[in-house]
Structure 1
C-alpha cells in the first residue's frame, strides 16, 4: 500500500483508512511483535503492543507527516521500535552485584540441563525462521494455531479466510515446514 492510496482513503473517512491499514498489516505487525516479545511477554502484553503500534501509525497519519511511496517499511519500523520499548520495559530490573572469589567460582557448577537448554533455544530459532520462510498467510496460520492455540475460526477472522481454508492451508504449510526441517536434518521437533 502506498502513502498516496492511504491519504486518498483518509479523505473519504479516517476510520476507513485505519481499517485498511489494520487489515493489510495486522499479520506483519503481529509477527514482528511476537518474535521480539515471545520470551518475556504474555499474550495480553503482545496484543497490547500490537494495538499500540497501530495507534502510533494512526496518529502519525492523522498529523499528515507522511511522505510518499510504500508504507510497509514505516509500519515495520514502528512495530520493531514499539516491541523493543516494551521488551526493555518488561525486562528492566536491578541486578545485585555479587563478588565471588576464585575458590568459590570453581565450586559453582552449571545446571545439568544447560546444553539441552541451549539446543532447545537454537531449535526454536531455526523453527521460527522456517515458519517465516513459509510466507503469508501460512506463517501467521501456523503461529496462531500452534503457538497461540487459536481455533481455525479465530485464525480465519485474522487472515480473512474461512475455517475450512485455514485447515487446508495449515496442512499444506505443515508439509512445507516438515520438508524444510528435514532438509536441515531435523526429524523430530519436540520444543
Structure 2
C-alpha cells in the first residue's frame, strides 16, 4: 500500500503470527513484542548516516564507520508504545526517549493528551515514533503534531499492525512521515479495532482488561 513500508522478514512474520494467537500468554506476548521490536528497529534505521573515524585495532590503524550526527530519539505513545521502546533501546541504548501520553476516548475515538516529555533539541535529531497499532491513526497524528510543534522535522513511525483506513488518514495528515509496519490488515471494525488484528496490545502486554 502506498505510504507504508511492510517489513516482511520471515522472523518478523513468524513472531507476529504467535502474537496474534489469542492463546499466547501475557509473558509470551511481552517477550515477542520485545524481540520483534529489535527487528523493526533494524529496518527503520537501515539508512542512518555514517562517518569515518580513526581507530586502532590490535593489528593496525584504520578508518572505520560510526554513526554521524546526534543520537536518535524514540518517542513512545503510552502505554503500549513502551513494549516496542524497550526492545529498540536494547539495540540503540544511547538513544534519547520521549513519552507521549494519549488515550482514545471510547465514544468519539479521538485522542486525549495527558502527558508529554521530550528532549529539547528535537530539531537536530531523527525521531522514531512507536506504537504497536495504527488503527484510526488519531493518536499517531496527534503525537506527531505535538512533536513537530516542539521542533521535530525528521520523523518516522513504527508499528506492528496497520489498517488501510489508518494509513490513508495518517498520510493525509503527515505525507512527509514514513510508516514502517510488520503487516497491513483488512480493516477496522465499528469500535476502531484492527481486524483480524491481535486485540488490544496494551491489555495483552500488561495483562489488563
More RCO (CA 8 Å, sep 6+): 2
Larger Rg: 1
TM range (shorter): under 0.3
TM-score when scaled to structure 1?
A: 0.28
Structure with more of its chain in helix, by fraction: 1
Kindly indicate which of the two structures has a greater share of residues assigned to strand: 2
Provide the TM-score with structure 2 as the length reference.
0.26
